[in-house]
Structure 1
Amino acid sequence: MTTQLQRTDTPNPLSRLLLCLSLTLGISTPIQAASFDCEKATSSVEQAICHSTELSRLDTILHDNYQSALANLPAAQADALRSSQREWLKQRNVCGSQEACLNQLINQRASQLHEAAKHATSAMDAIIVSIPTNPAKAAQLLRSYRGPLASAWLIYLHQFEPGSNVTDAEVEQRHQNIIVSMKDDSFPQSLLQDIEKDPKVSQATAVLTLLRMVIERAGYENEYGRPYVHCFIFKRQGAAAYEAFGPLYGSTRDSQAPICSPQGDLFELPAWKKLSKLMNPMLEQASENTGTIRFASYAAWSIFRLRATVSPEDFLTPSQRVQEAGDPEQQIRSWGDNKTWPKEQREQLLAAIEPARLATMGWLQTERSFSASDAAKAANMIVTEWLSDRMGFILEMSGSPE
């Protein structure tokens, strides 16, 4: 599976469907963005919701909260919620077209479902957090759930935690459940099929990619502050996890990749903040020529920051990709067009590189207990790869002036 998509006239199979998507705006102004198709609204209640911006907004919130609660409740509790929702709909329908009545009932129900979803997601996430320490118990608890998130984690447990005792039959059923849950978006289904048929993609990467796509749809890092709880997989699964959670789509979807924040404050150190600030003007200039493909690079850079802080030992070995790309410092020095990138700015950037290396060496020794020699090797590679990635982006998008 390719982790760095390139701009091309023939889209990669992993991004071909998204590149064809367009947003179609409705021209019938009374129809609002309700949770159902307003063009098919027949009852007085549905028509009232569709003709009111506020009711439509509330109805959408209610629907989202309901779906979140359903997806994160054990099967028995989810069935009970469905029953209570049907009873509530009967009460709502008594309002007919009375907007004030509908506003009160929908608002109240949306708040109730928000609390239900909050408690449900908290309980689900507590199970997920327990996976590294007690995978068998986590599997036992996840079996009581029917939603795609529980299914994806059971498949993960089958792949990486044999002691969890998840069976092949369970995996087959759960995989099918996930595919069905994606019926509202054909793109992930197509992408997963491409991955599963590709002999170059490992089973570990395929399983982690499936997990990644479910997490993307599960409502993490949203306005309610649900934090990521899958971050342990990067240390445990290494390269396969970094590959699966990195750039995948070659579009704005890569901006929603569930990439955890760096572990530690390495890139918040003054030397790194200064280096980033000095590089940013040229990156912004290059980004003007890229279109949505730039989000793949941004995702790759986020993965890099995570990997540098979670798995810095990976940088003790020189990267073949960086070696093939050439010396980024020399590329900066030899930039020939003083108008696009003034020499004074480049000299300031070059002067900021060594302080970033030294700061990284110190951080690795203090925060990751590296020896002095290993810290020097890894720091040099981290800084070089950071520069190389950005120079590759600049050269590809801006061209290399003589």
Structure 2
Amino acid sequence: MATLLRDTLGNSADDRDAIERAQKAFLTERDGTCADKSTIPACRALYEKRAADLAAQNSAAQKKLAAVVAGIPKDAKAAAAALLRYSGAPAKAWLVYLYQSGAVAVPDKDATVRRLVDEILNQGLPKDPYLLEEMANLGDVQGAPLSTSLLFLRHVLSTTEMDAPCFLFTKHGQPAFEAFGAFWGNARDETPGLCNPPSSLFDLPEWQAVSTHMDPAIEPALVERGSIRHGYERQFEVDDLQASLVPSTLLEAPMSAEAKKMAEQRGRAVAAFRSWSDFDVWPEKEYRAAVHTLPAAITATSKLYREKFKLNPQTADQAARAAADRFIAGRLGLIMPDD
């Protein structure tokens, strides 16, 4: 109840006034209903109804906030002005992003960002020691590269129902994909949600044909990984988004230490794919079929990149092969021996 109320009171001033009035009415009713032990069932029902009301109000308010955020590409200054009417952590995190990215100028930027970050860390987030520790480890956000602000934003959004909008990825490319990729290696990687691209590259029939021959080995491995599977699935989702939304960024060099490590692991996985011999884990028939169907998937991808994304033929071919490496390595890593 306290968490729901805190989140809801982070909404705009008009919404807060209505919520505060409703909270006062609830407290008055609570004092009458929960006066003695004989009314415990009615008291419990009252609390449950209030919690449900707050959850519904918070969900509706987050949709309003998401609509404000969606206006950033069109008019960042107007979006920032609207965000200032909110007092919750998500709105403040978006302001940090706008100021740090240079989309909106603000006097005394460093001091303003430092204040917003402090307010978020000390007042605006759930009492989650793991999350707070990781956010504190980011250091001085105001003096760090934009990639740090994007990761900070990711952490704040993970406490909400809000998705990461596509404009973050189309505008910032590799740093955004790294910030919103697999981080925790457990169920925490399920949030925040990611935007849906207009279409998914890996939904092409040619890629589905490759999947048909990999899935029998991959699906059991996902189950065996337990909660770690969420990290793999998150990276699948980010790789799909990158290959489907901004394929040219597949050719950009990794920036963070973790991304560089993942690139090295991807290289080892691709090499293992080319000389696969553990047919107890991945039957030879399925492996050979995957090898046979992969060139058609790469060709279809290159064609899509030339026609839809207007990449020149050489870049389209390179990006298509990079997309294939992501697809193969992300899945093969599940059935390769751990480093």
Shorter chain as denominator, the TM-score bin is 0.7 to 0.9
Deviation per residue, 1:360-382 (Å, 9 max, x gap): 12222332223334322221221
* Contact kept in structure 2, 1:361 and 1:375, CA below 8 Å: yes
* Contact kept in structure 1, 2:166 and 2:197, CA below 8 Å: no
Note closer, same or farther for the CA distance 1:104–1:298 as it changes in structure 2 (3 Å cut). closer
| Equivalence map 1:14-29=2 (5 Å) | none
Secondary structure, aligned partner of 1:389: helix
Corresponding position: 1:276 with 2:219: no
Q: 1:87 aligns with which of 25, 38, 54?
A: 25
Note closer, same or farther for the CA distance 1:82–1:133 as it changes in structure 2 (3 Å cut). same
State the match for 1:9 in structure 2.
none
Q: 2:12 aligns with which of 74, 78, 103?
A: 74
How far off is 1:394 after superposition?
A: 2.4
State the match for 2:90 in structure 1.
149
How far off is 1:126 after superposition?
A: 1.8
How far off is 1:282 after superposition?
A: 2.0
Tell me the matched-pair count: 326
Between Structure 1 and Structure 2, whose CA radius of gyration is higher?
1
Secondary structure, aligned partner of 1:380: helix
Note closer, same or farther for the CA distance 1:123–1:288 as it changes in structure 2 (3 Å cut). closer
State the match for 2:159 in structure 1.
217
State the identity %. Answer: 26
List runs of 5+ in structure 1 lacking aligned partners: 1-34, 37-62, 221-227
Secondary structure, aligned partner of 2:193: coil
Note closer, same or farther for the CA distance 1:162–1:335 as it changes in structure 2 (3 Å cut). closer
Instruction: Give the distance between the partners of 1:255 and 1:91, measured in 2 at CA.
Output: 38
How far off is 1:108 after superposition?
A: 5.9
Q: 1:171 aligns with which of 109, 113, 134?
A: 113
Note closer, same or farther for the CA distance 1:266–1:112 as it changes in structure 2 (3 Å cut). same
How far off is 1:89 after superposition?
A: 1.7
| Equivalence map 1:276-355=2 (5 Å) | 276-287=211-222, 290-316=225-251, 321=263, 325-326=267-268, 328=270, 331-332=272-273, 334-355=275-296
State the match for 2:257 in structure 1.
none
Deviation per residue, 1:143-177 (Å, 9 max, x gap): 12110011101100110135342633332221112
Which has the larger helix fraction?
A: 2
Instruction: Give the distance between the partners of 1:168 and 1:254, measured in 2 at CA.
Output: 30
Higher alpha-carbon deviation: 315-324 or 128-137: 315-324
List runs of 5+ in structure 2 lacking aligned partners: 255-259
* Contact kept in structure 2, 1:275 and 1:349, CA below 8 Å: yes
Secondary structure, aligned partner of 1:146: coil
Instruction: Give the distance between the partners of 2:207 and 2:246, measured in 1 at CA.
Output: 18
- TM-score, scaled to structure 1: 0.71
- TM-score, scaled to structure 2: 0.83
Instruction: Give the distance between the partners of 2:86 and 2:331, measured in 1 at CA.
Output: 43
RMSD: 3.2
Instruction: Give the distance between the partners of 2:52 and 2:329, measured in 1 at CA.
Output: 49
Instruction: State the one-letter code of the partner of 1:95.
Output: T
Secondary structure, aligned partner of 1:396: coil
